[in-house]
Each structure stands twice: as C-alpha cells, then as structure tokens.
Amino acid sequence: MQKIIEVSNLVKKFKEVTAVNKISFDVQKGEIFAFLGPNGAGKTTTIKMLTTLLHPTSGEMKINGFSPSSQQDEVRHSFGIVFQDPSLDDELTAYENMEFHGVFYNIDKKTRRKRIEDLLKFVELWDRKDNQVKTFSGGMKRRLEIARGLLHHPKILFLDEPTLGLDPQTRNHMWQYVTELAKKEGMTVFLTTHYLEEAEKVADRIAIIDHGEIVSMGTSKELKKKTKSKSLEEAFLKITGHKIREETASSSEFFKRRFGGRR
Amino acid sequence: MNSVIYIMWLRQLKRYWRSKARMIGTLGQPILFLVALGFGLGAVFQQAGQGSYVEFLAPGIVAMSILFTAMFNGIEVIWDRQFGFLKETLVAPVLRIKIMIGRTLGGASVAFLQGVLVLIISLFLGFHITNLINIPIALIFMFLIALLFTALGTAIASLLKDMNAFPLIINFIIMPLFFLSGALFPVNDVPNFLKIIIRLNPLSYGVDGVRGALTTSNFGLGLDFLVMGVGIIAVSLIGSSLFSRIEI
C-alpha cells in the first residue's frame, strides 16, 4: 500500500496555546480515514495545516509526496476540500461557482464544462444551476461544495464536518456519493465528524484526537475491542472522557476573541 | 493563467451588476453634493469672480464618488473572509498576487463605472465639457483614481478581520483625503499650510487630472500622471504583501 498522507511530529502553537501537539499518522491511498475528537481537540487546525492554510510550528507533512510548506502548488492540486463553514459565493450561481473553481484549477474549458455538468447532475443540482447560491438550502449548498471539491479530480478529499446541520436523508445521500466516488476514482478521503455512527459506517480507519494529541488509532472494530465497548460512541467517550469541552475552542473565533490579531 | 485575473475581475462586476441597490445607493451622495453645493454656493463662487461653480465642482465630485466606491471595495475582502469564500481562493493552486490583481482591477472597474455614471449625471446638472477630445484623458485619470484607492482599501482590509471596524477606518481616511484635495475649492488662494497638505494628498493629483482634462489643470497633467502612477505601484506592492500573508 502507498502512503498518500504522511504526518510526523506535527506541532501548532498559537501564542501560549498548543493546538496540535506532536501528532503522527499516515493515510493509505484509497482509504477513508476519520479524524474524530471533541470540540477544540485540534481537528480543524490539523486540516488547515495539511491544506496549506496554516504554517505548522514544527514537524513534517507530506501530501501526495509533496510538502504543504514548500510545495504549495503541487499540494493544492492534489486535494479538494469541503470546509466546516460554507465557502461559496452566495451572489454567484451554482454554475458560476463551479466555473470559478475550474478556472482556478486550470481545467481547460471543454473538460470543465463536461465535468461540471456531470457533477451537478450527480449531486442533483443541474436543474438549479443558474440560481444564485443564496437561494439554496443548507443541504443544497453542501452538495454543491462537494461537487466543487471534486471538480479537479483530487487525489485526496478533505471533509471537515461535512454533514453538520444536515437532515438524515441528505447525510445518507452524501456519504453514498462520497464512498461511491472514492471507490470509483481511487480517491482518499480524510474526514472529521461528530456523528460517530457515520464514522463507524464509512471509515476504514479512525484516529481519535484530544487536547491536540492522538490518543487512539485503528479500525472501528479495534477501537471497540480495545475499550471493550459495544459502539464507537461508547469507545469514544471511554477514550476522551465525559467532560464537556469549551465549545468555541474549535473555531478561529476563539483565538480571535482571546488573543486578537492574526493567526 | 491570466484567466484567474479575468475571472476575479468578472466576479466583481457580476456582484456589482446584481446589486442594483448598491449601485443606486452610492449615486445618492454625489448627486446631493452636486445639487446642494453646486447650486447652493454657485452664486457666491460667481460673485467672487471664479465663474461657474458647477463647472469647477463636477470633476471633484466625480473623483469623490470614485474614491468612496474604490475604498469601500476593500470590504469585499472582509466579507469573503467572513462568508468563507476567501478560503476557496486561498487553497487554490494560484498565486495570491493574481487574486489580488484580479480583485483590484475588478473593484477599480466598478468604482470607475460609478464615476462615469456621476459624470453623465453632472452633465444634466449644468456641467459642460469644453474639451471633448480630452474625454479619454479624463477617463484614464478616473481609472487611475479607482485603481489607487481600490488597492489602498484592499490593503487595509487585508489587515482587518472586523467588519465593523472597516467602515470606521475608511471614513477616517477618506474624509480628509476628499476635503483636502481641491475637489471642492480652487487650491491657488488657500493659506500656505493648506497648500502643502493638498500637495501631499495623492487624490489632489487625481482630481487635478480629471479637471485638467475636462477644463483646466493646476499642477500639469504630466505631474498628475506621474504621482498617480507611483502611488498605484507603491500601494499595490504593500497591498499584495499584506494580502499574501493572510492566514485563516
């Protein structure tokens, strides 16, 4: 098996707070890898570092064989991402958002048009393609973001809590798309979610992160066995404890409010 | 890869075109200035032997409307940050400088169009263009003003995360820029200290360029062009360095 994501001793400090503390893990090509953890555990910070949005304080990363710190362009071509919060332009239409992405990733016009049509049909938004995104429901926006993230044939798809706030129907549908595509295109999926039954269902392997450190890693079966639990949720709670975490710590808002200035 | 610049430019224009309220809303202030000051102070101006005030004022108000629209363009950087679209552009495999250039050109085009609209309206309020041949030169200066202050607004926005702080800071900057630029009054007969301030204000040269092309210039169009050009290059360099340092 070929490693497509390699991380070793990755650290990210924001002033005195250590958000990610010496984590190491690998993801195999074609694998669906779930990154689970309570709020503020460091999931999003890790994704931001892997996707070139944040510079790590120290440690090594390789995405598709390239370094996110020094080979940003190659890395950026290798992945697609669906962020935790929406990242569409509401004033543009669905088609324009896709078109925009296609131009950004330098996909030639003919391939772009064809692929946009295929993907919009795939996520069942083709008949709404000329509507402005601001008229879309939350679920439709998510689907559009997924379609957009796939437009440039990424080798890795990052999904940061992609099903947050979606109804069970849409969630089900979405995972169906994603797993189907992963299989069809040999795509690697790196996801975070708070819905543990989802992770249990779709993920080949799971890492549990807490207080910026990876506390456990393995298949869902292994994690359950290790903690003698019936469900992944039970295993998760046994590993990370029952204490409620500071809700805002996962978002950048927390750092903004607390420490001000740029990150 | 210049298609990236093009599509960023196109995006700004589409957003402008789709928000008609914004387009019409930003016309209100310049029209008010033209009517209230143009007609209100017109008689006094004429009695002082300076000729028609509307003729003098119109290029200044055109410059004002461009200045305001251009500077406030910067807020789109903050919107994009707030509503997430900035992330989409920042993870894309394109040079940040291209995003910055496309954004600035787009914003400048919007501000320029706004200026053209005000210029056309001023013709109905008593402004006469004496030098028809020089209209292209006036348009060039209008675009230079748009470019300089869109770049400045974008640079300031790159430093800020707070949507509420931006308009306050921008207002704090544009008011003195506007009032001390010779947009409203002739700069020859003012006290010396004011003359120096006006000479240091880049907008003065933009205003003078537009006015010079359409009626008569004070500093000379060559100097106007030079100052605006140097200003644009300097602000763009600073702006792109700030923009490329944005982390989410």
* Inter-chain Cβ pairs, chain A and chain B, closer than 8 A: 76
Is B13 at the interface with chain A, CB within 8 A? no
What's the whole-number mean pLDDT along residues B165-184? 93
Predicted confidence (pLDDT) at residue A258 exceeds the cutoff of 60: no
| C-alpha to C-alpha distance for B211 and B45, rounded to whole angstroms | 17
Ranking A4-18, A160-174, B76-90 by mean pLDDT, the lowest is A160-174
Local structure of A180: helix, strand or coil: helix
Residues in chain A: 263
- Hey, what are A229's tokens? 């639990």
Our count of domains for chain B comes to 1
CB B244 within 8 A of CB B82: no
Ordered by start, the domain boundaries in chain A are: 3-259
| C-alpha to C-alpha distance for B1 and B16, rounded to whole angstroms | 24
Q: What angle do CA A94, A95, A97 make, to 5 degrees?
A: 65
Q: Which of A81, A99, A132 sits opposite B91 (nearest CB)?
A: A81
Residue type, A115: R
pLDDT for res A245: 73
DSSP label at residue B111: H
For residues A165 and B211, the model is more confident at B211
Give B205 to chain A, closest Cα distance, Å: 35
The dihedrals phi and psi of A3, each to the nearest 5 degrees, come to: -85, 130
Q: Please indicate whether, in this complex, the C-beta atoms of B3 and A132 are within 8 angstroms of each other.
A: no
Tens digits of residue pLDDT in A109-133? 999 999 999 999 988 899 999 999 9
| C-alpha to C-alpha distance for B190 and B212, rounded to whole angstroms | 19
Predicted confidence (pLDDT) at residue A250 exceeds the cutoff of 80: no
pLDDT for res A257: 44
Q: Which of B3, B7, B87 sits opposite A87 (nearest CB)?
A: B87
Predicted confidence (pLDDT) at residue B193 exceeds the cutoff of 60: yes
Task: Please tell me the pTM assigned to this model.
Answer: 0.85
What's the whole-number mean pLDDT along residues A74-84? 92
Predicted confidence (pLDDT) at residue B188 exceeds the cutoff of 90: no
Q: How confident is the model at residue A165 (pLDDT cuts 50, 70, 90)?
A: confident
| C-alpha to C-alpha distance for A34 and A235, rounded to whole angstroms | 15
Residues in chain B: 248
| C-alpha to C-alpha distance for B180 and B194, rounded to whole angstroms | 8
pLDDT for res A246: 60
What's the whole-number mean pLDDT along residues A25-53? 92
Is B91 at the interface with chain A, CB within 8 A? yes
| C-alpha to C-alpha distance for B8 and B40, rounded to whole angstroms | 42
Q: Which residues pair with A33 in a beta bridge?
A: A190, A205
Distances (CA, A) of B124 to B54, B117, B129, B206: 11, 11, 12, 23
Contacts with A49 (C-beta within 8 Å, 6 or more apart), sequence order? A10, A12, A20, A55, A56, A61, A68
Q: Which of A53, A100, A106 sits opposite B11 (nearest CB)?
A: A100
Q: Which residues in B165-184 are b (16+ Cβ under 10 Å) and which e?
A: ebeebbeebbeebbebbbbb
Task: Supply the ipTM of this predicted assembly.
Answer: 0.84
Q: Which of A48, A76, A103 sits opposite B7 (nearest CB)?
A: A103
Q: How confident is the model at residue A252 (pLDDT cuts 50, 70, 90)?
A: very low
Q: Which residues pair with A60 in a beta bridge?
A: A8
| C-alpha to C-alpha distance for B201 and B187, rounded to whole angstroms | 12
Q: Which of A52, A100, A106 sits opposite B1 (nearest CB)?
A: A106
Number of neighbouring beta carbons within 10 Å of residue A252: 18
Distances (CA, A) of B174 to A42, B108, B153: 42, 16, 10
pLDDT for res B168: 92
Give B94 to chain A, closest Cα distance, Å: 7
Tens digits of residue pLDDT in B75-117? 999 999 888 899 999 899 998 889 999 999 999 999 999 999 9
Number of neighbouring beta carbons within 10 Å of residue A121: 13
Predicted confidence (pLDDT) at residue A199 exceeds the cutoff of 50: yes
Q: Which of A53, A74, A101 sits opposite B247 (nearest CB)?
A: A53
Homologous superfamily of the A3-259 domain (CATH): P-loop containing nucleotide triphosphate hydrolases (3.40.50.300)
CB B54 within 8 A of CB B34: yes
Q: How confident is the model at residue B52 (pLDDT cuts 50, 70, 90)?
A: confident
CB B4 within 8 A of CB B99: yes
Helix A109-122 and helix A138-150: axis angle, to 10°?
A: 140
What's the whole-number mean pLDDT along residues A21-48? 92
Classify strands A205-210 and A156-160 as parallel, antiparallel or unpaired. unpaired
What's the whole-number mean pLDDT along residues B203-209? 95
Mean per-residue pLDDT over chain B, rounded:
91
Q: Which of the residues A50, A87, A161 would you substitute to probe the B interface, choosing the one with the greatest number of B C-beta atoms within 10 Å?
A: A87
Tens digits of residue pLDDT in B126-156? 888 877 888 999 999 999 999 999 999 999 9
Burial (CB < 10 A; 0-12, 13-18, 19+), residue B221, is middle
Residues in chain B with CB shorter than 8 Å from the CB of A89 are: 11, 15, 80, 83, 85
Q: Which residues pair with A206 in a beta bridge?
A: A34, A218
Q: Please indicate whether, in this complex, the C-beta atoms of B93 and A96 are within 8 angstroms of each other.
A: no
Q: Which of the residues A91, A158, A190, A254 would you substitute to probe the B interface, choosing the one with the greatest number of B C-beta atoms within 10 Å?
A: A91
- Hey, what are B233's tokens? 């290059």
Residue (of B58, B34, B54) closest to B44 by Cα position: B54
Q: How confident is the model at residue B1 (pLDDT cuts 50, 70, 90)?
A: low
Search chain A and give the residue with CA nearest B159.
A262
CB A74 within 8 A of CB A66: yes
What's the whole-number mean pLDDT along residues A188-216? 92
Predicted confidence (pLDDT) at residue B44 exceeds the cutoff of 50: yes
- Hey, what are B106's tokens? 């787009």
Residue type, B186: P
pLDDT for res B194: 93
Range(s) of the domain holding residue B229: 2-244
Q: Where are the alpha helices (DSSP H) in chain B?
A: 2-18, 20-40, 42-47, 53-73, 75-82, 85-90, 96-124, 135-159, 165-179, 192-200, 202-214, 221-244
Residues in chain A with CB shorter than 8 Å from the CB of B93 are: 72-74, 76-77, 104-106
What's the whole-number mean pLDDT along residues B47-62? 89
Is B165 at the interface with chain A, CB within 8 A? no
Q: What percent of chain A has pLDDT over 90?
A: 58
Q: How confident is the model at residue A166 (pLDDT cuts 50, 70, 90)?
A: confident
Mean per-residue pLDDT over chain A, rounded:
88
Q: Please indicate whether, in this complex, the C-beta atoms of B92 and A87 are within 8 angstroms of each other.
A: no
Residues of A near B (Cβ–Cβ under 8 Å) read: 48, 51-55, 72-74, 76-77, 79, 81, 83, 85-92, 96, 99-101, 103-106, 132, 148, 252, 256, 262-263
Is B93 at the interface with chain A, CB within 8 A? yes
Contacts with B117 (C-beta within 8 Å, 6 or more apart), sequence order? B27, B65
Give A222 to chain B, closest Cα distance, Å: 35
